[in-house]
Structure 1
Amino acid sequence: MLKNKNSSAIVAVKDLDRAKAFYSDVLGLNLADTSMEDMLGYRTGNTWLTVYKSDFAGTNQANAVTWDVGVELEDIIAWLKARGVAFEHYDGMDRQGDVHHCGTLRLAWFKDPDGNILHLVGATT
């Protein structure tokens, strides 16, 4: 039954104001819903990203959100770096600059202020 349903991402943060500044101002996402206390809703493409306040923020050691950015990966990385975003580098994969290569995929990771891992996936050019 779930195979035909949309899914979305949800990210825990400790400081909602700091998260709002990062997701709205640094990442450039449009805040679409503030109707619930301690929660922000962002529309990203055809999906939702929910950011909520939690004491457990930043405890996840895996990807929290992934964006499929296609051939725009390098442009998006440059745009984010100009806004102060630092990219993560992981061992075990071929890497050129901030872009990791795994088969036909190009990958990049960065963190939000709470340490949530955000992931960009690009297609080969």
Structure 2
Amino acid sequence: MLKDTDSAAIIAVRDLARARDFYTNVLGLTVVKGDDNVIELKTGGTTLVIYVSKFAGTNKANAVVWGVGDQIETIVADLKAKGVTFEHYDGMPRTGDIHGGGDFKMVWFKDPDGNILHLNSM
């Protein structure tokens, strides 16, 4: 039924201007369209929809995941240089800010509203 239909991730935020700044200037995404309540951003072959909600940041799980392959170390360094702070989780092997080992590496960080964003080397 939906297997041939495009989908998009959607994230709630409290302050759309602050979110636009983070997602465009820090993460480097491009606004495709938007208004005062919603923006749609291009990310690879999909879109990320950001909308205003009083429930922003209440999700305790990953909101979005990007598979960045072997660029993970470079991307982590770039994000860190822009002031992004990475989450560290007990019970998982970690070198610096990057969890995992071998070929599988992963990091988590939060947007300004506390939504959990995830990068991995897949």
State the TM-score, normalized to the length of structure 2.
0.94
For residues 65 and 88 of structure 2, the distance between their equivalents in structure 1, rounded to whole angstroms, comes to 16
Gaps of at least 5 residues in structure 1 are: none
Deviation per CA, 1:28-87: give whole Å up to 9, x if none.
1111111x4400100100000000000000100000011010110000000101111000
Moved over 6 A (4+): none
Provide the residue aligned with 2:54 in structure 1.
55
Other-structure match for 1:42: 41
Percent identity over the alignment is: 56
Residues 93, 102 of structure 1: 8 Å contact kept: no
What's 1:72 paired with? Answer: 71
Q: Residue 28 of structure 2 aligns to which amino acid in structure 1?
A: G
Contact 1:105 1:121 (8 Å CA) reproduced: yes
Q: Residues 121, 95 of structure 1: CA spacing in aligned structure 2 closer, same or farther, 3 A cutoff?
A: same
| Separation in 2, partners of 1:102, 1:42 | 31
Unmatched 5+ stretches in structure 2: none
The one-letter code of the counterpart of 2:86 is F
Count, aligned residues? 122
Q: Structure 1 residues 16, 3: CA separation in 2 closer, same or farther (over 3 Å shift)?
A: same
Distance in 2, matches of 1:73 and 1:61, equals 23
Kept in 2: contact 1:63–1:117 (CA 8 A)? yes
RMSD over aligned Cα, in angstroms? 1.4
Q: Secondary structure at the match of 1:87?
A: coil
User: Is residue 21 of structure 1 aligned with residue 24 of structure 2?
Assistant: no
Distance in structure 2 (CA, Å) of the matches to 1:74 and 1:92:
21
Q: Which residue of 2 aligns with 1:30?
A: 30
When residues 71 and 103 of structure 1 are mapped into structure 2, their CA distance, relative to the original with a 3 A threshold, is closer
Give the deviation of 1:7 after TM superposition.
Answer: 2.1
Q: 1:103 to 1:4 in 2, by over 3 A?
A: farther
**Contact map agreement 2:110 2:116 (CA 8 A) in 1:** yes
